[in-house]
Structure 1
Amino acid sequence: MLFVVVILLNLVTQGLSRCLFNRIGIGTVSTGREIQGKREWKVTVTNNCECPQAPIYLNCRGFQTVEKVEPPILEKRGDQCLLINGRPLGPFASISFSYAMESPFVLTASTSKCLLKL
């Protein structure tokens, strides 16, 4: 019985280590549009993990867009931005949003958790 528990804990630990916030991919491309004289950028956030992740927070210190991003998608909370109201982003799923600034803003994942089901 102890052997089974050790194996199970090992599998859970391996699953969690593969599904940290460093498995959140973020890509930014120019849309070619201008909003209030600023270039528009499209961001795609992808969960590159086998399990859903939530809540996903992005580092967004200094993020100031002239184009409104809907709060259900991205909500600025001080220097952090909460993605999709803290709801899970499924395995290998993506979500996109656009913003307008002079140059692309480097968004990085700061925290997320794997919602591992046993």
Structure 2
Amino acid sequence: MSGFQLVPADGGCPVTLPRGETVIGRGPLLGITDKRVSRKHAVLEVVGDQLRIKPVHVNPCFLQSSENGDLLPLETHEWHSLNPGDSFSLLIDKYLFKVLFAHSDVESTLRILPNF
């Protein structure tokens, strides 16, 4: 099974995202305790090999595309696609996460073996 991981820019542990919707914000999932970040700051959704984000709090999220180095605010209550290599943050100056597409060892092995 493959999926998406969020890698904190500050060097914390990567977070593997399950299929479907995941509410992100202040709390144990991302290890954020800053009161400027809501407990329900944004929603991430994994559907197949696609990942998207919908900011739902008054404080916006920001996107740094892998193609463009600028950190741009995302429109609230709108879905935005995230691609591997993109980064997003929950505040303009903190909580930056890079999006990675991860393949499992089993899936990688099956691709190598010709009879599967």
Same topology, TM > 0.5: no
Larger RCO (CA within 8 A; separation ≥ 6): 1
Structure 1 length normalisation: TM-score?
A: 0.29
Higher helix content, 1 or 2: 1
Q: Which has the larger radius of gyration?
A: 1
Structure 2 length normalisation: TM-score?
0.29
